[in-house]
Amino acid sequence: MTTQTISAPEVYQGQFGEFTITKSDRTGVIIYRSGLMIAAVCFAIASALVLFAPHPTIFKLLTPLYACFSLALGVSLLTIHIYMVELHRLLQVFWVIGSITAIVVALSSSDPLAIAVYTQPLSLLGIGFTFAALTGIYFKEAFCFNRLETKLLTPIVPLLLLGHLLKILPIQWERVLLGTWAILFLVFAVRKAVQAIPPDIGDKSVFEYLKARRSAKA
């Protein structure tokens, strides 16, 4: 009879004590990254269609692409690790507001969603919340991992959306910013896919400490 040795999980030293990383933790990170990858690919395809094949029939394809992008982003926002619970919930609320607005605009307009948003910039006051949530992810990744692409994406997204909303950006600049956004988003998603998993989980002792503080206040 052979004896199988099951290796003990690695113990990490956190700020407030030791912790281990479970299979569930790793699965959550994989789901988070998968959501980002799907969102990035959908966004890149949609952007390429807009920039290089702006035919009226093409714009109909953008609605399901946006729906897939938004759903994938929602999954990432559900599984992302952020120490501040309030900030995590705020980003999720932003996503909900943006998603509801997108559904309302899509159902109430005779034009495809992309055309409706482009010709009615004020709709960005609602749909823009989805991209505010995405920018929150970029900011978090830039702050935690010092990634160049997310440092660039953090200002690019609001610059493009606010520039279109206020009608102060020439269309050529909008095209450049959109293409840059799509490329950097893909770079970000690919780099996340090959990053070690533990850093994305963070210091679990901090989560436990903050949870204990909330329970004590309650």
Write the pLDDT tens digit of every residue in 108-148: 998 999 999 999 999 999 999 999 999 999 999 999 999 99
pLDDT tier at 181 (50, 70, 90 boundaries)? very high
| Tens of pLDDT, residues 54-108 | 777 788 899 999 999 999 999 999 999 998 889 999 999 999 999 999 999 999 9
Q: Could you count the other beta carbons within 10 Å of the beta carbon of residue 168?
A: 9
User: Is residue 201 pLDDT above 90, yes or no?
Assistant: no
Domain ranges of the chain: 21-217
Q: What is the pLDDT of residue 172?
A: 95
Question: Alpha carbon of 24 to those of 28, 30, 107, 208: distances in Å?
Answer: 6, 10, 38, 16
> Can you tell me which residue has the tokens 């897939």?
68
pTM of the predicted structure, to 2 decimals: 0.90
The pLDDT of residue 4: 43
Predicted confidence at residue 5, as pLDDT, reads 45
pLDDT value at residue 200: 86
Q: Are 20 and 12 in contact (CB under 8 A)?
A: yes
Q: For the segment 3-29, what is each residue's pLDDT rounded down to a tens digit?
A: 444 556 777 776 777 778 889 989 999
For 94: left if phi > 0, alpha if psi spans -120 to 50, otherwise beta; the answer is alpha
What is the reported pLDDT for 171? 93
**Per-residue confidence (pLDDT) for residue 8, from 0 to 100:** 60
